[in-house]
C-alpha cells in the first residue's frame, strides 16, 4: 500500500487486515475449542469494534518502520485482551449490560458461564499469539502485555471503577483510574507495535509513551462526553449508563465544556510528543485526530 494514502484509506485497510488476523486466530482449527465456547469467543471479537488498539499498534509500527506483517500478532493480542475485558465488564456482577457493539452482550447471547470462560480463554489466546510472535524477546513482550492487562493496569483500573461507583472522586483519582483501566492497554498497544520495528533511543521511547498517555486519557474524555451526548444507536452500547450508575466521569466532574478544553490540551500534547519522529509518526498523529473527533 502506498504510504501516502489518506488516513481513511490507511485505517480502513488496517481494520480489514486485523479482522483477517483475528479471524485466523480464532478459527475452529486454530482454537481447537469446544463448539459453543469457540462460538462465544468469535461472537465477542469478530465483526465489530473500532479496533483502536490494533490501529495504535500498526501506527506505532509505522513510526519504527516495522513491516505490518510483523505487527499482526501484537495487534491481535491487544484486541483480544480488550475483547475479553468487555465480556467480563458486561457481566451481571459487573456493569450488567445487555448491549455491546450494537448486539446482545456475550452473556445475554451465550449465558453467563460460557461468557466468563470465553473471556478467560480470550486472555489466554492473546498470550498464545504473542508468545510465538516473530518478534525479538517475545517473552518480554508477553510480560509487558500482562502488566498492562493485570492488577497494576486494566484489571486494577476496573477494581477502582467498581469501588468508585456512587462515590465522589477527585479529578486526580479519576485520572489514576483511567490511566490504569484504559490507559495501560493503550500504552501497551503503542509499545508493542513500536517494538516490531527498529530499536528506539531512550528519548524516543519516552516520547512515544507521552503520546500514548495523552491519547489514552483523551480517549476516555471523549468516551465520557459521548456517554452524555451520544445516543445508544450511534454508540452501539447503552448511552447514559455512567450517569445512571452514578459513575464519576470527566463530564460529570468538570462539566462538558471544561472536559472539552481538557481534551484539546491532551490532543495538543499528543501531537507535541510526536515531533521528533517527523513524518514517520504520521499515522499516530492522524490516529490522535481520529480519536478526538470520533462520534461513536
Binding site for its own copies (CB under 8 A): 31-34, 36-38, 41, 84-85, 88, 91, 93-94, 111-114, 116-117, 119-121, 123-133, 137-147, 149-153, 155-156, 158-160, 162-163
| Comparison of 142 and 287: residue with beta carbon closer to its own copies | 142
**How many other C-beta atoms are found inside a 10 Å radius of the C-beta of residue 177?**
23
Tell the smallest beta-carbon distance from residue 42 to its own copies (Å). Answer: 11
Closest to 117 (Cα-Cα) out of 184, 31, 241, 181: 31
Tell the smallest beta-carbon distance from residue 215 to its own copies (Å). Answer: 22
Contacts of 54 (CB under 8 A, 6+ apart): 14, 15, 18, 75, 76, 78, 79, 189
| Comparison of 2 and 32: residue with beta carbon closer to its own copies | 32
| Comparison of 31 and 210: residue with beta carbon closer to its own copies | 31
| Comparison of 51 and 125: residue with beta carbon closer to its own copies | 125
Tell the smallest beta-carbon distance from residue 153 to its own copies (Å). Answer: 8
Q: What's the rounded Cα separation, in Å, for the pair 295 and 280?
A: 27
Under a CB-based contact definition with an 8 Å cutoff, are residues 80 and 25 in contact? Answer: yes
Tell the smallest beta-carbon distance from residue 87 to its own copies (Å). Answer: 10
Under a CB-based contact definition with an 8 Å cutoff, are residues 115 and 84 in contact? Answer: no
| Comparison of 85 and 220: residue with beta carbon closer to its own copies | 85
Report, in angstroms and rounded to the nearest whole number, the Rg of the chain calculated over CA atoms: 18
Tell the smallest beta-carbon distance from residue 96 to its own copies (Å). Answer: 10
**What does the block give as the cell for 80?**
483480544
Amino acid at each position: 500500500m502506498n504510504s501516502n494514502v489518506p488516513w481513511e484509506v490507511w485505517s480502513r485497510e488496517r481494520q480489514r487486515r486485523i479482522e483477517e488476523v483475528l479471524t485466523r486466530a480464532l478459527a475452529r482449527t486454530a482454537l481447537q475449542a469446544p463448539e459453543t465456547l469457540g462460538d462465544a469467543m468469535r461472537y465477542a471479537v469478530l465483526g465489530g469494534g473500532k479496533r483502536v488498539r490494533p490501529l495504535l499498534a500498526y501506527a506505532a509500527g509505522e513510526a519504527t518502520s516495522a513491516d505490518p506483517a510483523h505487527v499482526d500478532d501484537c495487534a491481535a493480542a491487544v484486541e483480544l485482551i480488550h475483547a475479553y475485558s468487555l465480556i467480563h465488564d458486561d457481566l451481571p456482577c459487573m456493569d450488567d449490560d445487555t448491549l455491546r457493539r450494537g448486539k446482545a452482550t456475550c452473556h445475554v447471547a451465550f449465558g453467563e458461564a460460557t461468557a466468563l470462560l470465553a473471556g478467560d480463554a480470550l486472555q489466554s489466546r492473546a498470550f498464545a499469539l504473542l508468545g510465538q510472535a516473530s518478534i525479538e524477546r517475545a517473552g518480554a513482550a508477553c510480560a509487558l502485555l500482562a502488566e498492562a492487562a493485570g492488577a497494576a493496569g486494566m484489571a486494577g483500573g476496573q477494581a477502582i471503577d467498581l469501588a468508585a461507583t456512587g462515590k465522589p472522586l477527585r479529578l486526580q483519582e479519576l485520572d489514576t483510574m483511567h490511566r490504569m483501566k484504559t490507559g495501560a492497554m493503550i500504552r501497551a498497544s503503542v509499545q508493542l507495535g513500536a517494538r516490531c520495528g527498529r530499536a528506539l533511543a531512550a528519548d524516543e521511547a519516552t516520547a512515544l509513551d507521552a503520546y500514548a498517555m495523552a491519547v489514552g486519557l483523551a480517549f476516555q474524555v471523549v468516551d465520557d462526553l459521548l456517554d452524555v451526548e451520544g445516543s445508544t444507536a450511534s454508540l452501539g452500547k447503552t448511552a447514559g449508563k455512567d450517569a445512571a450508575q452514578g459513575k464519576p466521569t470527566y463530564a460529570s466532574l468538570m462539566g462538558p465544556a471544561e472536559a472539552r478544553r481538557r481534551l484539546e490540551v491532551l490532543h495538543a500534547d499528543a501531537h507535541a510528543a510526536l515531533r521528533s519522529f517527523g513524518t514517520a509518526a504520521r499515522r499516530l498523529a492522524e490516529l490522535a485526530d481520529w480519536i478526538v473527533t470520533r462520534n461513536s
